[in-house]
C-alpha cells in the first residue's frame, strides 16, 4: 500500500480554447517491441522516438539483465546491440517489470524458449493482474512456471530447453497474448501459429517482418486471422522510428473536442487501423478530426491529426471495436459525459483486469464530477447532457495513469475544477503530460490543496 504522503494530487481547472501543434511521446506498445525484437537481431538496432516512460525503461533494464546491451544515445534515442535469436543469458538479477502488463507478458514470452531461469515480478498493481492467459500456451511449448495463486506475479520462469512449436487459438482478443506466443516462437523449431477470432493490434507482426522474420498471415473461412511464424530466423538489426502513441494522443484529442474554441494539431501519430477505434468513434459522435500528411515508417502508418472543438452526440459503440481502443475507454467516457444524449459502450470485460478495475474507476470518477453513468455487465452507459459538468473530486485513480489523465482532461471542460488523488502513475506512459497540456493552454498542475472541494 502506498503511503498517503507519497501521493501527488493534481488539479485541472476550466480552460479557454486549446491551440497549438504538439508531439506526444512514442508509442508504448511499439517501444516495448522494438527493444525486445532488436535484442533478438544480429547487429545494432537504432531506435528513435522511444517512449522514456517507466514501463518501457523497465523493459530496457530487464533486457540488460538478460545480457543485452541497451544504450541511451540521446533523448528518446537508443541503441540495442542484439544477441541473436536464442542467445539471451541467465539473468543477473530479478526482472522487475514495474507497472507494465505489456512488458511483463511479452518478456515472459521472449524468455520462455530460452534455456534459463528467471524471477519475474512487478509492482503491487502488476502483481494483481492475470498472467494465466500467457502461462497456459507457453506451458504447451515446454516452459515451466512457479507462480502465485491465480497465475500471478511474482513467478519463476524456467525456459524450455527443447521448445515445441504450437498452434493456439486465442480464447479472448489479446494482442499481448498473441505477441507473447509469437516471441516465444522465435526460438522454437518449425512453425508457431496463433489464430485470433477478432483482429487485435498487429505491431508485433509488423515489427517482426521489419527485422526479417518469416510470417504467413491468412484468413480462415470463419473470418479468424491465422498468423504463422517460422522459428529460429536470423533477424537483422534495423532502424526504427517510433511514432507518437495514439493512446497518449487521445487525451489531447478529447480535450480539444470538448473545450470550446479549440484547434490543435498532433504531429507524427501512429494511425494503425487496429489502433484508431477511438478516432472512428469520436468522428461518429460528430468530432471534427482529420488525418493529414499520411506516410509509413517501419511498416507503421503515421499521420498528423488535426482536431477542432465540436458538438458531440451520444452513439452506440459495438463490442467488436473494443480491441482497437481498449486503452481509450476512460477518455471516451469523458467525451460521452460532455456529449448530448446517451453513449453505450459494449464488450468492456477486459477493463476489469487493467492497471485497475477501470470500469468501476470510470463510473466512480464520473459520478464524482456530476455525470450520470451506469454499468450493465460488460457494458458502460453514459447519459450526456450536452452541457458542462460541475467538476469535483478527488477522483480515485488507483495508481492508473489513464484514469488520472482522463479526469484531468474532464476538468478542462467542467464549470469547476476536477481533482485527482494521485498523478504519479502518469509517468509510466506519458512523462511530461501536464507540461504538454499547459503548452496548449490547459490549466493542469499539482494540487496544493488536496482533498479540497
Identify whether the C-beta of residue 394 lies closer than 8 Å to the C-beta of residue 370: no
Buried/exposed code over 367-392 (b: 16+ C-beta within 10 A; e: otherwise): ebbbbebeeeebbbbbbbeeebbebb
Identify whether the C-beta of residue 108 lies closer than 8 Å to the C-beta of residue 157: yes
Comparing C-alpha atoms, which of 247, 246, 204 is closest to residue 225? Answer: 204
Structure confidence at residue 80 (pLDDT): 98
Structure confidence at residue 194 (pLDDT): 98
* Active-site position among 327, 421, 422, 434: 327
Fold: same for 4-26+243-446 and 28-231? yes
> What homologous superfamily does CATH list for 28-231?
Enolpyruvate transferase domain (3.65.10.10)
**Catalytic (active site) residue 74:** no
Structure confidence at residue 447 (pLDDT): 86
Strand extents, DSSP E, 134-262 = 144-148, 152-158, 167-169, 191-196, 215-219, 225-230, 239-241
Using a cut of 0.75, tell me whether the model's pTM lies above it. Answer: yes
CA 424 to chain centre: 17
Identify whether the C-beta of residue 417 lies closer than 8 Å to the C-beta of residue 11: yes
| Spans of the chain below 70 pLDDT | 1-5, 449-453
Query: What are the domain boundaries of the chain?
Result: 4-26+243-446, 28-231
- How far is it, in rounded angstroms, from Cα 229 to Cα 215? 5
Structure confidence at residue 298 (pLDDT): 81
Dihedral angle, C-alpha 102, 399, 7, 393, nearest 10 °: 150
DSSP calls for 360-419:
HHHHHHHHHTT-EEEEETTEEEEEEESS----EEEEP-TT-HHHHHHHHHHHHHSSS-EE
Structure confidence at residue 313 (pLDDT): 98
Identify whether the C-beta of residue 111 lies closer than 8 Å to the C-beta of residue 90: no
Q: Before 154, cis peptide (omega within 30)?
A: yes
**Among the four given CATH numbers 3.30.70.2190, 2.40.128.20, 3.65.10.10, 3.40.50.300, the one describing domain 4-26+243-446:** 3.65.10.10
Structure confidence at residue 2 (pLDDT): 39
Do strands 225-230 and 263-270 pair parallel, antiparallel, or not at all (unpaired)? unpaired
Give whole-number Cα distances, 134 to 143, 196, 241, in Å: 11, 14, 28
Residues in the chain, overall count: 453
- How far is it, in rounded angstroms, from Cα 65 to Cα 82? 13
210 secondary structure, DSSP code: H
Amino acid at each position: 500500500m502506498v503511503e498517503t504522503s507519497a501521493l501527488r494530487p493534481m488539479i485541472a481547472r476550466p480552460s479557454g480554447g486549446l491551440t497549438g501543434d504538439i508531439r506526444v511521446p512514442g508509442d508504448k506498445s511499439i517501444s516495448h517491441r522494438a527493444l525486445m525484437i532488436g535484442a533478438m537481431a544480429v547487429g545494432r538496432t537504432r531506435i528513435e522516438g522511444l517512449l522514456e516512460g517507466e514501463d518501457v525503461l523497465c523493459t530496457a533494464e530487464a533486457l540488460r539483465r538478460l545480457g543485452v546491451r541497451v544504450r541511451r544515445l540521446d533523448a528518446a534515442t537508443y541503441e540495442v546491440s542484439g544477441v541473436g535469436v536464442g542467445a539471451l543469458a541467465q539473468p543477473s538479477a530479478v526482472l522487475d517489470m514495474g507497472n507494465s502488463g505489456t512488458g511483463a507478458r511479452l518478456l515472459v514470452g521472449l524468455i520462455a524458449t530460452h534455456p534459463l531461469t528467471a524471477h519475474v515480478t512487478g509492482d503491487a498493481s502488476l502483481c494483481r493482474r492475470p498472467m494465466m492467459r500467457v502461462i497456459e500456451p507457453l506451458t504447451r511449448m515446454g516452459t515451466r512456471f512457479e507462480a502465485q495463486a491465480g497465475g500471478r506475479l511474482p513467478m519463476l520462469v524456467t525456459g524450455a530447453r527443447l521448445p515445441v512449436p504450437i498452434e493456439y487459438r486465442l480464447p479472448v482478443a489479446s494482442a499481448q497474448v498473441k505477441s507473447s506466443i509469437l516471441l516465444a516462437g522465435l526460438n522454437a523449431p518449425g512453425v508457431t501459429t496463433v489464430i485470433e477470432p477478432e483482429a487485435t493490434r498487429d505491431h508485433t507482426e509488423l515489427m517482426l517482418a521489419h527485422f526479417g522474420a518469416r510470417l504467413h498471415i491468412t484468413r480462415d473461412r470463419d473470418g479468424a486471422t491465422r498468423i504463422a511464424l517460422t522459428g529460429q530466423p536470423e533477424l537483422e538489426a534495423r532502424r526504427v522510428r517510433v511514432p507518437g502513441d495514439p493512446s497518449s494522443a487521445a487525451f489531447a484529442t478529447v480535450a480539444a473536442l470538448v473545450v470550446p474554441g479549440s484547434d490543435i494539431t498532433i504531429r507524427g501519430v501512429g494511425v494503425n487501423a487496429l489502433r484508431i477505434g477511438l478516432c472512428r468513434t469520436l468522428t461518429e459522435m460528430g468530432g471534427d478530426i482529420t488525418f493529414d500528411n499520411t506516410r509509413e515508417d517501419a511498416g507503421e502508418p503515421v499521420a498528423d491529426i488535426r482536431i477542432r472543438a465540436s458538438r458531440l452526440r451520444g452513439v452506440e459503440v459495438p463490442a467488436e471495436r473494443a480491441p482497437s481502443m481498449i486503452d481509450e475507454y476512460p477518455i471516451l467516457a469523458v467525451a460521452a459525459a460532455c456529449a448530448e444524449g446517451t453513449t453505450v459502450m459494449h464488450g468492456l470485460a477486459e477493463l476489469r483486469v487493467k492497471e485497475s478495475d477501470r470500469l468501476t474507476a470510470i463510473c466512480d470518477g464520473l459520478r464524482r464530477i456530476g455525470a450520470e453513468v451506469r454499468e450493465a455487465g460488460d457494458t458502460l452507459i453514459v447519459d450526456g447532457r450536452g452541457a458542462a459538468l460541475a467538476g469535483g473530486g478527488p477522483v480515485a485513480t488507483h495508481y492508473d495513469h489513464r484514469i488520472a489523465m482522463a479526469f484531468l482532461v474532464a476538468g478542462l471542460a467542467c464549470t469547476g475544477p476536477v481533482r485527482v488523488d494521485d498523478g504519479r502513475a502518469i509517468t509510466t506512459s506519458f512523462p511530461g503530460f501536464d507540461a504538454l497540456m499547459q503548452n496548449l493552454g490547459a490549466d493542469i498542475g499539482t494540487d496544493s490543496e488536496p482533498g479540497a472541494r
